[in-house]
Structure 1
Amino acid sequence: MIRVLRDFAAGVRVLGLGFGLVFRSPRLLVIGAIPAVITTVLMIAGFVWLATSVDSLAAWATPFADDWNEGLRATVRFAAGFAAIGGFVALGLLLFTAITLIVGGPFYEHIAETVEDTELGGVPEAERVSWGRSAFIGLRDGILLVGLAVLCAIPLFLAGFIPIVGQTVVPVVAVLVNASLLAIELTAIPFTRRGIDLGERRRVLRKRRAVTLGFAAPAYLLCLIPLAALVVMPAAMAGGTVLAHRLLHDRVR
């Protein structure tokens, strides 16, 4: 247990180091915020569209309730609309990260290179990742990870109706699951520069799960704060680069 807590604290320190790196270099902060701004605009537009169309979507999703009495029909469709908005919010962060990484490939490649070359001694024979390849990898990994998120979200959603457990244990498990998936995305570029694919990336992160969660869980929770991702994403990308470097060298303390 002590080892787990120590590793979790080490992960939190890695995220703090990421914040320190970008705050010491405002240029990195600005560069990393540009893709996040673009994605934020897209996500807000999507949320506004969903909010204005939720009644129609709820009616479309519950045709079986057309002939029910008005009170029961309204209750069912309210629940359907609430579930749709909740699902959008739940997947929003992973979608946000995936889209941001696709849009911001060159920006985050620059952050990863700068952090590794100036702070971590560089990467011998690092692969040069073009924007096209970065976008393809980000899209492919994003689809896989969002698919995993959906698969995990279904049982967690159902478990949320269990008294007490649904209001205590389930939210914690949801944060840990989403944080794990977020960590995979945030370490994509430094692993890709070393020619390491998604499967190996997951294995390396899983080997030091407590460290990974210590890094990713606070990043995930901070990104839930409106507009905080504009600052958190550059810091988390810098921290993800440090995390990948340390895990590959097994030097996380």
Structure 2
Amino acid sequence: MNHISAGVRDLGTGFTSIVRSPRMLLLGGVPALLSSLLLLAGIVVLAFFSGDLAGWLTPFADGWSEWWRRSFRGLLALALIAGAVLLGSVSFIALTLLIGGPFYDHIAERTERERGLDGDEGVGWLRLLSRGLADASRLLLIGVIGTLVLFPLGFVPVLGQTVVPVVGVLFGGWLVALELTGPVFQRLGMTVGTRHRILWRHRRTVLGFAVPAYLLCLVPVAQLVVIPAAVVGGTLLAHRVLGTRWPDESTADGNRTNGAGTV
């Protein structure tokens, strides 16, 4: 439980920091608002054309009786909309970070400065931006693949109403952790694969942070506060799993390390 509560505390610290800084809240909320509007617009457009799309996907049903044809295509249209909503939920943060990368890098760097943590390793901003775009693209792809696997399983009786929702939350939460710890790992030149391996060694702490963050991101409007707060929390979490010692931590030698040590 101590490991889980450490992750929860990092998220709570993020909320405290953001609430105390309206400028950071505004800076982090704008990209979240833009990505929310983009996803909402996409879902609305899909819903409007879902009937036509369902008909285009099922030419084999043209010869069915009208009741069966309409029922089948209606269910398919609903499934397409539900799949789009699920995809939007797991890709929301990746899209937000893709849109507002420089803003969130600034929030992460400020978080490090305020706490005296090791931050910028001298990486050029252009190189850091390219790393961020590459990582966000990979995580978006992972989110799409995960959705394509989980969505059809949701229609399996019993399994789809019990195991699949839990796996979906854990999967979405893990993506959140990979995404929000990105700025720190990217400055150290670490790939998504390396990030995943380090986070996995501290998975209880990571999930203690990531699962609440993911669930809160599903709440409309709350996302505008949750995302910037989670960026702060993700920065603290990244340093925690990397073994960084807090400057106010009582140690014999007073030194800080950046190795992948044990928390």
TM-score of the two chains, using structure 2 as the length reference: 0.86
1:231 Cα offset (Å): 0.6
TM-score of the two chains, using structure 1 as the length reference: 0.90
The answer to whether the 8 Å contact 2:108/2:183 transfers is yes
Q: 2:98: which partner in 1? A: 102
1:133 Cα offset (Å): 4.1
The answer to whether the 8 Å contact 1:95/1:142 transfers is no
Structure of higher CA gyration radius: 2
1:154 Cα offset (Å): 3.5
5+ long unaligned stretches in structure 2: 244-260
Q: Which amino acid aligns with 2:65?
A: N
The answer to whether the 8 Å contact 2:91/2:143 transfers is no
The answer to whether the 8 Å contact 2:107/2:231 transfers is yes
Q: 1:151: which partner in 2? A: 145
The answer to whether the 8 Å contact 2:109/2:120 transfers is no
Q: Percent identity?
A: 48
Distance 2:119 2:107 in 1: 17
Q: 1:140: which partner in 2? A: 134
Q: Which amino acid aligns with 1:29?
A: L
The answer to whether the 8 Å contact 2:113/2:119 transfers is no
Q: 1:237: which partner in 2? A: 231
Structure 2 counterpart SS, 1:94:
helix
RMSD: 1.9
Structure 2 counterpart SS, 1:126:
coil
Q: 1:181: which partner in 2? A: 175
Distance 1:124 1:234 in 2: 18
Structure 1 residues 19-43: Cα deviation after superposition (integer angstroms, max 9, x where no partner): 1111122211111111112212212
The answer to whether the 8 Å contact 1:58/1:81 transfers is yes
Structure 1 counterpart SS, 2:155:
coil
Structure 2 counterpart SS, 1:184:
helix
Does residue 20 in structure 1 map to residue 24 in structure 2?
no
Distance 1:151 1:175 in 2: 15
Q: 1:56: which partner in 2? A: 52
Which shifted more, 228-237 or 57-66?
Answer: 57-66
Q: 2:249: which partner in 1? A: none
Does residue 44 in structure 1 map to residue 40 in structure 2?
yes
Distance 1:38 1:155 in 2: 28
Q: Comparing both structures, which one devotes a greater share of its residues to helix? A: 1
Does residue 122 in structure 1 map to residue 154 in structure 2?
no
Q: Which amino acid aligns with 1:149?
A: G
- Equivalent position to 1:168, from 162, 186, 195: 162
Structure 1 counterpart SS, 2:162:
helix
The answer to whether the 8 Å contact 1:32/1:108 transfers is yes
Q: 2:215: which partner in 1? A: 221
Structure 2 counterpart SS, 1:28:
helix
Which shifted more, 151-160 or 168-177?
Answer: 151-160
Does residue 83 in structure 1 map to residue 79 in structure 2?
yes
Distance 1:146 1:171 in 2: 20
Q: 1:112: which partner in 2? A: 108
